[in-house]
Chain A
Amino acid sequence: MTVELFIQYLFAGITYGAIYAIVGIGFNIIYNTTGIINFAQGEFVMLGGMIAISLMPFLPLSLAIALAVVITMICGALVEMVFIRWLDSPGVLRMIIITIGLSILIREVALHIWGESIRSLPYFVGDEITTVAVLGARISPQVLWVIGVCGLMVLVLSIFFKATSIGRQMRACAANRKAAILCGINTRNMVTLSFMLSAGIGALAGCVMSPITSTEYDIGTGLAIKGFTVAILGGLGNSMAAVGAGLLLGILEAFSISVMPLAFKDAIAITILLMILFVRPHGLFGSSTAAGLKEF
Chain B
Amino acid sequence: MLKILNLQAGYGNLKVLKNVSMHVARGEIVTIIGANGAGKTTLLSTIAGLLKATAGEIRFEDRNIAALAAQKIPALGCVLVPEGRQIFADLSVEENLILGGHVLRRNGRRELARQLDHQYALFPILNERRHQFAGTLSGGEQQMLAMGRALMSKPSLIMMDEPSTGLAPLIVQDIFNVIVRMRDEGKTVLLVEQNAKAALQVADRGYVLETGKVVLQGRARELLEDVEVKRAYLGKDYGDFYDGRE
**Contact residues in B for A184 (Cβ distance below 8 Å):** 71-75, 102-103, 153
Comparing B2-10, B14-22, B89-97, the segment that makes contact with chain A is B89-97
**Contact residues in A for B50 (Cβ distance below 8 Å):** 178, 181-182
Per DSSP, chain A at the interface is: helix
Known: A182-B79, A184-B74, A186-B71. A176 touches B102 (CB 8 A): no
**Contact residues in A for B98 (Cβ distance below 8 Å):** 168
**Contact residues in B for A268 (Cβ distance below 8 Å):** none
A187 CA / B69 CA spacing, docked (Å): 11
A181 CA / B75 CA spacing, docked (Å): 11
Per DSSP, chain B at the interface is: helix
A179 touches B82 (CB 8 A): yes
B89 touches A175 (CB 8 A): yes
A7 within 8 A of B: no
**Contact residues in B for A84 (Cβ distance below 8 Å):** none
Give a binary string over B98-131; 1 marks a CB under 8 Å from any A CB, 0 the rest. Answer: 1110110100000000000000000000000000
A169 touches B102 (CB 8 A): yes
A171 touches B88 (CB 8 A): yes
A219 within 8 A of B: no
**Contact residues in B for A168 (Cβ distance below 8 Å):** 91, 95, 98-99
Number of residues on chain B facing chain A (CB within 8 A):
27
**Contact residues in B for A79 (Cβ distance below 8 Å):** none
A138 CA / B2 CA spacing, docked (Å): 73
**Contact residues in B for A2 (Cβ distance below 8 Å):** none
**Contact residues in B for A187 (Cβ distance below 8 Å):** 71
Give a binary string over B56-84; 1 marks a CB under 8 Å from any A CB, 0 the rest. Answer: 00000000000000111111000110100
Chain A residues 183-218 with CB under 8 Å of chain B are: 183-187
Interface residue ranges, A against B (CB under 8 Å): 165, 168-169, 171-172, 175-176, 178-187
Interface residue ranges, B against A (CB under 8 Å): 48, 50, 70-75, 79-80, 82, 86-91, 95, 98-100, 102-103, 105, 149-150, 153
- Mind listing 16 A-B residue pairs with CB under 8 Å? A169-B99, A171-B90, A175-B90, A176-B88, A178-B86, A179-B87, A181-B70, A182-B50, A182-B79, A182-B80, A183-B99, A184-B73, A184-B74, A184-B75, A184-B102, A184-B103
